[in-house]
Every structure is written in C-alpha cells, then in structure tokens.
A and B are shown apart, each in its own frame.
Chain A
C-alpha cells in the first residue's frame, strides 16, 4: 500500500516535472521567436542576464548537423585573425557579389542557412543574427593590406578554450552573447571551426549545461544573515 502510494506520488511528480519541462521548452521556443530585447531597462542599476532571444534558432537543423561530414576549411587561427579583437564583428574575407546589396538579397543567400559554395570551395558560415539585414553596417571587406598609419592598439585576446570548473565538467561560454545568442550557428555545421565545434549539436539546449563566464565574477559573499560567508 505504502509502496503503491509512493509510486503514485513519484508518477505524479514525474508528470509535473515532464509537463513543466515541455512547457519550458515551448516557452523558450516562443521566446526565441520574440524580437531581440534585453531584460534590462534603461537606467536600471544592474546588468541583466544575457538575452535568451534566438537561443533555439536552427534547432530543427541540429540532427542534420550531427550527421554532416567534417570538411570545413576554417580553423580557430583564421577565425580569430579575421577580427580586430575578441568579440569584434568579423571581416568579409571573400570578394563580394554586389556592393549595393543589402541583407536578404545578397549576404543572407549563403549566410542564413549555410551550405557549400562552389565559388569559394567552402562551406558558408552561418550568421547568428539574420534579423539584422544591413550586414555591411558591421561587416566590411578588406581591399588592401596597407595601413594609413601604424597602430599601437593592443587587442583583447581570445580566452583559452575548454575552461571548466573541474576536469570533465561542461566548459563555460567564454565570450559575450550579445548578437550571438544562437550557439549552433557558430558551433555546429560544416563551417564551424573544428576547435569550437560541438560534438553534440542534437542537444540543442546548450545553455542547460554551458553557462556564460562573467568576466568580473568574484566570490559570492552573503550580504548578511546569522551565518555570514566567513563563519
């Protein structure tokens, strides 16, 4: 009897958990369709958590990504070399179809969903933010190697990969997520540099295990209470 009761109890609990998981999943999907917005109000004193919008974009591709062959020509060195500093918008490393074009009619033809391009014998990287249509607002080509004047700029370096709290625990996200909320666009598929490619794109809910490492994190100390942090 007791056993039966407790197993009912467990089933009910499981049911509740399952339904809430389903609810959360779909709520998150809904969320991903919502326009990019931050949780922070202008003028508020505190920084909000990174926006979740766009997190689940490309989830339908996840299984395909899993089965896609390796074959990307990009590696981490070229990936970093294509940016002025860690987090800067990457340059356009190839000749352009049109100087007049804007978003949907040009860049996004290849960079919205990726795929192989004969012209460059390469897989096109996928943009994490296809909703921003004026691509050339941030991404520019390089038409010369020359400089107008030299520079003493010291760039923010990319952090080491695979930072985890303990051996075997899930690595943290070592970069900002603004405009890069959608993990799969850079970390999955044939265009992803091998060094940052996930082995398990099908899990989709990346941030279930991988959390952003906040650069300014310090030890948590209880603000008060009977037992403070240093009891």
Chain B
C-alpha cells in the first residue's frame, strides 16, 4: 500500500496546493507566495489519512476509504476508485469503523476457572489451547479436534487453518459458517459447471435489461448492488426489475413487478419456466447442442434430520426429449396450483427469459441457498440460463450473491470445508499430492475422507465424538438451527471450547478459553467478494489490548504443538509469505490469482488473473483466457459441457399443519449484519433497529388481536419465543407466514428453527419450518 498511498497522497497535495497557488496567482499576478503563507492554507478535514479497504460486512465487497487520525479510525467514505460501489456505501459501511470501538471489546484472554471466565495472559491462554489440543489428539485421535471458522476470516486466516488441520495435524475437521450460507451455491456450481463461483460479475448490471431476484431482498441485503440496478433503470429505457419472493419487502416495492410464491415451490416454478421455454421454442438450439448435456440424479433424497446422515448423488445421462418429458409435470397450470403463482405470471417470467432480445440477470442469495433442495434450486436457475444460452456474456448472467466479506475468498477458494483443499478436494489424489508438496508434508498426512459438515460437527460435539473445538470469528450459539441441542452439547462435561472473537457473545458464554481477536483493519489481510474479486487491506490501527489476528493465534498454537517449521514466518511478514505460498495452489489460467504487490496497489483484482489482467466473464473465449474454441467453453467439466439437471419439486420436511399453522421465515435486516455482534455496537445501527420482532400479515394480526409492539409467542416443535409483533412495518409476509430477523441474541429465533439441510450441500434451511403464533 505504501507506495500507492504516498503517490496518491502527494498527488493530492500537489493538486490542492496547485489550485490554491493558481487562485492566488490570478488575484495577485507576479507575486510568488512564500512558504510561510502557504502553511496558513485552510486544512479541510485536518490531519487525516484515507486508506483503502474492502468493507467488513457483506459479500458485495464495497471499497471503502477509512479516515485515520491520531491512530484511530474516525470516518469512512466510499472509494470512488472501486468498480464495485463507485463511491457509494450503505449505512453499515459508512458506520463500519464504529464497530471497532465498542466499550466491551475483548482486549485480553479469558480462561474458565471454577465455572467462571477469568482474565489470563496471552501466553498462558495459548499454552493452554495448545496443550489441550495436543492432549485431546493423543487421547482420542486426530478427528476429536476441530476448527470452526468463518466467511469473515481473511484469506490468510483460512489458509493457516487449512494447512494446520488438513496438512499438518491430518484431520478434515475444518468447517466454516459459510456452510450455513453458501454451500448450496458451491454444490450448484460444481454440479452444473464443475467449478465454483460466478461466471459473470457486477458489470453485468450495466448491461442487463431484466433483473430477476429469486427470494432475495437486495434493497436491504445487497443495497449497493440494488442501487446500481435502480440507477440503470433510471438511465436506460425498458430496464425491468422483477421480484420473485415469499414475502413483500422493500425490494418488492421498488421492483416493476412483485411475484409471490409459496415457500419451497420456487423449484416447481423454475421447472415451469423451462417447460414454457421449450414449449415455445425459445431455447437456443445451437448453444444447447454444442455446449450442454442433460443429467438426472437421485430423487427423494431426504433432509438430514438424523445423525450421521449420508447421501451421494449419482448423475445419469438424459436426452433433451427425456428432459422435456420430465418437465411435463410442470405445466404452468399444474405449477400455479402448487405455487400460488398465476399462470400468467409464470408465462410472463418465461417470456422474459425466452425473449432473444433481452439480456437477463438472475440474482439470488439465501432464498435458494438455505433450502432443503438448495443445490437443486441453484441447478434449476442455471437450467433456465443454459436453455436460453444467456450466460457468460455481458448482461446475461445467473449471479449467485454471497453474504460474507470473504465467503468466496476464504471459505470457497482456500477451501476451509471438510471436503476441500486450497486446490481441489481431499478425495482427489492429485489434489492431495499438490497440497502435500506445497505444504511440505507427507501426502499420507492428508486424509482422503471428509469428516463432519457444520451441522454434523456440532452434533459430533454433542455426542462427544468431537471433544475440542476452536471457533473463530463466528457466533454459532446464535446461528445454529435447533439451537438448544447444540448449545447444550457445547456445554457438556469433557468438551473444550475455544472462542476467538472481538466482543462477548452467546458463543463466548460457552467457551473455556476466550481469545481477543484483532479486527479487520487492526491487521493486514485479504477478502474475496462475490464476483471473484480479491481485495487487500493494510494494518491501519494497532489491535486493542492484547488482541492478535486469528491467523497469528493459530500460528502461535501450531508452534507450541511443535509445528514451527510449517509456519516459519514473522508477525510482520506472514501475510505476504502466506500469499506467496497460497499463490502456488492457483497458478494457471483457470484460477490464477494476483501477486501480493498487485493486490496492495489495486482496489481489487478478479481471478482468473492472467497476464496482468482480471477476467470479468468466464467460459467464453472472448473474455476468458482459459476458454478454448470459438465461443463458449465450459472447461470446468471434463466433457467441456455445462450440465442441465432434471430436478423435481420435493416437499419440505416440515410444513404448516393444524397444530403449527404458520410458516416461520428468518433472515436479516439492512441495519444489522448476521448476529449483530458488530452492528449492535454501532449506535446508529442499534438505534435504528434496537431489537428483533415478528412480522405478521395484517389479517393474521387482527385475527390474533395484536398490533405492532404487542407481544406474540411463537412455538415450534423445538422451542418457543416471545417477541414484539410488527404489523405493516418494513416487510409484509403473506397470510400464514411470520418473519423474524435473527440478529438479536436476546431473542434467539434459532431456538425454533429446524436443522434439516440439503443432502448435497448440507446447508440448513432457515427459511421454512412450522410454528404456532399466539398473543402473549
């Protein structure tokens, strides 16, 4: 960063001084201003340095300029040089630096003694963590220890975790909270294209004529991208935004058409759209013949509600004719009955996708991903784009959004999931060999068998199969579905829980050791956003108290366990050294990443980074240096084809019934991010949304006799919760549906949710379970 800052700053200085000089010179021609007088020039904001960083919050990855004055972050502005947000932020971004300064920051380690967390020195705490980890491995084997990380980990954090667990210790007990938000996106990409992450980028927004948002309230969850869409609609004629969702939100209000569907039936509607496209011959025949194949997988695949649930799909070939026959169950008329979407609206959606003169961008995030058929949902959206050939070109873009700043960069690209490695998967011999070579470990160290995905990892903790877990930068005691089981499990005798975080949370409440973490710009790091963009930030501030970065905490523990030779770096240079090592995993034109020096300089770089250039669109020879042939090349699959999957509608594991007649849908609000452990420490954000609430449809509310602010009691088969009702406020659920934000640790809605998951992605469905609603 240094050279860039200096250049930039000195340039600004020169410009300012120049303009002052020029102004003065015109007033008093011929007079040269001495230095003394210039020193008196007005100073504007005062002695402040503006440094670039990606935002700490969501997966959009806005470029921020952080104002640093006297060693403290005092202000934020949007970075006009960032192509992501072009200078605009959302309220969380503008106030993000306030999240560093909550009065209750964890500044020293805590160790539980006689049931109470007591202050300890960093040395003592790290010694204890290392010895516990070592002892547990010695007594109970490698697979009894686990690390549970985060899509808010920087890339170096995730890399250290992967190397330590998979390479050095030799267990695949490494997961991250991105399992709860992005794994259906990953398995969707892998099954359809054989490579993870979007083929397109945010620039698609500047080219698309139609935006279809699938179960996605972008006005609140990805506001900067939504503003880019609104901006395009103002600038260009005929741009349409279609909101396809289960409740009416701000995004619906802003869209040109809001289409509501019954929970889970998005699968059927997507198939109906495909049905209409084929029936009307709107499909792109040439594209299909050259670049796609049809596949079917297993059906009735289950919901993972029982411990040790296993599932493996078996792809089988299909013909176009067979695919058409499969879609016969999904005529608009049949699907309309199931989904509540009118035949006219289904045909309308199909016509937008089918119109050869329209460029269509589909956007989605938690709606299709947190879905017991999440992988299928991702597949069927790709099906629509593949049938019409609307993919991998500017404005034609199925775009899977992410929710965390580095869900892509860290969890998906470094591969901090049980089955993954920084390159490839553990069950692939070639990938294991590559990792072992770069890490300098015997290849036998890396286990070829995945162990626990997140839900199963916490089940294993409950059962006692996992006895030591180190949780970093995430708050599972708020976010796990069916929370009580996992909280009780974590508190059981014989479990050792280490938590690295920046504030006290319900997760630190169950910890045996709490380690204070250096947050965001208190250390150097990189995040990777939704559009394959890697962004570097320098250390701008001193960490508070004894806080250390997650990566450095793990390195310290690894050294204490005798693994110093694998982590030979210094605290000053480890980020650069890690990057140099990590770089080797992705070399090549399919996933090449930018060198450290380039990252420091640029506002962000999109991989594949080949010959000094970012790649904006993948799988098309015009834009992607890895693509061969004369047009599209889906090189992720061995056959060079994109796979169109026949995925049927299957009912959810739990639906409203007589006893529990409401759907419960959970999610976020604009002001709070995830569990609110950061945003609630920001006065502006807390004061805007001080607590959680239960949104009800007005007819349900009047039947129950409740108005906004009255207490209602929600009860599911797992638990119950009393919270204030919200009627006709921000969101409008359909009758028979209740929506509750999950950020409030005082009102834990996940006591009620169900731990069912997609059998392919193992991502839980937080959007659908059955509850009873009563006036409390």
Binding site for B on A (CB under 8 A): 35-38, 40-49, 51, 84-89, 91, 99-103, 105, 131-134, 136-157, 159, 163-165, 169, 171-176, 178-179, 211-220
- Is residue B631 contacting chain A, with contact meaning CB distance below 8 A? no
Interface string of B56-82 (1 = CB under 8 A from A): 000000000001010010111110111
The residue of chain A having its C-beta at the shortest distance from the C-beta of B252 within the complex is A100
- Is residue B603 contacting chain A, with contact meaning CB distance below 8 A? yes
The residue of chain A having its C-beta at the shortest distance from the C-beta of B95 within the complex is A84
Kindly identify which residue among B15, B80, B682 contacts A214, using a CB–CB cutoff of 8 Å.
B15
Verify B230–A147 contact, CB threshold 8 A.
no
Kindly identify which residue among B11, B46, B91, B602 contacts A140, using a CB–CB cutoff of 8 Å.
B91
Closest 9 CB pairs of A and B: A214-B16, A213-B44, A217-B16, A163-B42, A150-B103, A140-B688, A220-B17, A137-B223, A156-B75
- Is residue B542 contacting chain A, with contact meaning CB distance below 8 A? no
- Given contacts A152-B101, A152-B102, A220-B17, whether A45 and B4 have CB atoms under 8 Å apart is yes
Kindly identify which residue among A85, A99, A139, A217 contacts B12, using a CB–CB cutoff of 8 Å.
A217
Contacts of A40 in B (CB 8 A): 80-81
Verify B17–A143 contact, CB threshold 8 A.
no
Binding site for A on B (CB under 8 A): 4, 7-21, 23-24, 27, 35, 38-49, 67, 69, 72, 74-78, 80-83, 86-91, 94-95, 97-98, 100-105, 219, 223-224, 226-227, 230-231, 234-235, 248-250, 253-254, 503, 601-604, 670-671, 676, 680-690, 728-732
Verify A99–B729 contact, CB threshold 8 A.
yes
How near does chain A come to B401, taking the closest CB pair, in angstroms?
A: 16
Verify A132–B88 contact, CB threshold 8 A.
yes
Kindly identify which residue among A171, A172, A218 contacts B13, using a CB–CB cutoff of 8 Å.
A218
The residue of chain A having its C-beta at the shortest distance from the C-beta of B691 within the complex is A144
The residue of chain A having its C-beta at the shortest distance from the C-beta of B235 within the complex is A35
The residue of chain B having its C-beta at the shortest distance from the C-beta of A172 within the complex is B42
Contacts of A218 in B (CB 8 A): 10, 13, 17
Verify A132–B227 contact, CB threshold 8 A.
yes
A165 CA to B670 CA, complexed, in Å: 43
**Can you spell out 21 A-B residue pairs with CB atoms less than 8 angstroms apart?**
A85-B74, A87-B75, A89-B94, A99-B730, A133-B227, A138-B90, A142-B688, A147-B686, A147-B687, A148-B686, A155-B74, A156-B67, A165-B40, A173-B44, A178-B77, A215-B44, A215-B45, A215-B48, A216-B9, A217-B16, A220-B14
Contacts of B91 in A (CB 8 A): 89, 137-140
How near does chain A come to B294, taking the closest CB pair, in angstroms?
A: 40
Kindly identify which residue among A85, A91, A175, A215 contacts B47, using a CB–CB cutoff of 8 Å.
A215
Count contacts between A and B, CB distance < 8 Å: 263
Verify B35–A143 contact, CB threshold 8 A.
no
The residue of chain B having its C-beta at the shortest distance from the C-beta of A164 within the complex is B42
Contacts of B49 in A (CB 8 A): 216
Contacts of B254 in A (CB 8 A): 102-103, 133-134
Contacts of A51 in B (CB 8 A): 80
How near does chain B come to A20, taking the closest CB pair, in angstroms?
A: 16
Verify A134–B230 contact, CB threshold 8 A.
yes
Verify A42–B46 contact, CB threshold 8 A.
no
Kindly identify which residue among B16, B24, B75, B95 contacts A216, using a CB–CB cutoff of 8 Å.
B16
The residue of chain A having its C-beta at the shortest distance from the C-beta of B87 within the complex is A178
The residue of chain A having its C-beta at the shortest distance from the C-beta of B745 within the complex is A148
The residue of chain A having its C-beta at the shortest distance from the C-beta of B40 within the complex is A165
Verify B18–A140 contact, CB threshold 8 A.
no
Verify B39–A219 contact, CB threshold 8 A.
yes
A173 CA to B100 CA, complexed, in Å: 30
- Given contacts A44-B81, A101-B253, A151-B102, whether A165 and B47 have CB atoms under 8 Å apart is no
A186 CA to B100 CA, complexed, in Å: 31
Kindly identify which residue among A41, A91, A134, A165 contacts B20, using a CB–CB cutoff of 8 Å.
A165
Verify B42–A152 contact, CB threshold 8 A.
no
Contacts of A37 in B (CB 8 A): 86
Verify B17–A219 contact, CB threshold 8 A.
yes
Contacts of B235 in A (CB 8 A): 35
How near does chain A come to B424, taking the closest CB pair, in angstroms?
A: 31
A121 CA to B628 CA, complexed, in Å: 67
Kindly identify which residue among B38, B43, B75, B224 contacts A219, using a CB–CB cutoff of 8 Å.
B38
